[in-house]
Amino acid sequence: MPPSTIDVTKLTPSVQQIRSNLIRLCGEAEGLLESHYSTILSSYHNPLHHLSIFPYYSNYLKLALLEFTILTNHCTLLPTKIAFIGSGPLPLTSLVLASKHLKTTTFHNYDLDPSANSKALRLVSTDPDLSKRMVFHTSDILDVSNALKEYEVVYLAALVGMNKEEKNRIIDHLAKYMAPGAFLMLRSAHGARAFLYPVVDPNDLRGFEVLSVFHPTDDVINSVIIARKKYPMAIVPNKCCDESQVLFNHGNMIEELAIEEN
């Protein structure tokens, strides 16, 4: 998809409402699609050997590689525990990261829908490795507090928080309970892609230091933001952090943003 100069913040209120309705409609369709294919995959003896039947599997491969590269650019020590918020019935990001990039990391997947978690669990139940490293929690993340301190990295799915108010309430909750120095990976959208997914404004990441914002220009739809939970006082970043940046062939890395604590 070529770059777009559309700034959705400048749309008229009526067009903003249309955009909001479209995002919700696409979110519902995406959930139904993932549920449908999760059911199909669970009919196989080894579901994880057939993930490629999902129509957008190649996109998830690219996105997971992109996010892994961005993460390791800022933290050279691989995380032992990751939380993924909004994992759904077909948790492809967790599956791809766990099987291809983070092969010793435990993934704690959070979703509101018990049926989604049940379907996701069936996908990994026959795998001797991932059945031990993929954990599923049926919870509203706003009800999770101290457990968030256990994760070195927290992923926030693009469709968790369908509007600015919902998204910011979740971000503020994560800022309150995540461990200082832990990383937050968020998916956003830029330009015309913002008609498909909500936009995360880096200035809304109160309590976090924004490390980089990346807008793809290929067929990866989501922008990627990585931020680090601030320390209570000025402390030199720990040894796992690497402030250098790297260029990717997906698009352009925007310069690191210094966000003031409100």
Q: pLDDT tens digits for 126-157?
A: 999 999 999 999 999 999 999 999 999 999 99
pLDDT above 70: percentage of residues in the chain: 87
pLDDT higher than 80, residue 230: yes
Which of 207, 210, 214, 251 is closest to 230 using CA atoms?
207
Residue 176 has pLDDT above 90, yes or no: yes
The secondary structure of residue 99, as a DSSP letter, is I
Model pLDDT for residues 164-175, shown as the tens digit of each residue: 899 999 999 999
3-class secondary structure, 38: helix
Structure tokens at 106: 């435990």
What's the Cα-to-Cα distance from 247 to each of 36, 82, 190, rounded to whole Å? 37, 25, 18
Q: Structure tokens of 116?
A: 């989604």
Taking the CA atoms of residue 172, residue 142, residue 76 and residue 63 in that order, the dihedral angle to the nearest 10 degrees is -100
Q: What is the pLDDT of residue 217?
A: 80
Between 231 and 156, residue with greater pLDDT? 156
The confidence band for 237, taking pLDDT boundaries of 50, 70 and 90, is low
pLDDT band with cut points at 50, 70 and 90 for residue 9: confident
Instruction: Identify the H or E element spanning 51.
Output: none
Q: What is the pTM of this model?
A: 0.85
Residue with the larger pLDDT of the pair 253 and 134: 134
What sections of 97-253 are H helices per DSSP?
114-124, 130-133, 164-177
Mean pLDDT for 235-247 is: 44
Residue whose C-alpha is closest to residue 207's, from 226, 185, 232 = 232
Tell me the mean pLDDT in the region 197-206: 92
Please tell me the least confidently modeled range out of 58-72, 166-180, 216-230: 216-230
Span of 39-43, 101-105, 203-207, 235-239 with lowest mean pLDDT: 235-239
For the cut 60, the answer to whether the pLDDT of residue 236 exceeds it is: no
Q: Which pLDDT score, from 0 to 100, does residue 256 have?
A: 36
Report whether pLDDT(32) > 50. yes
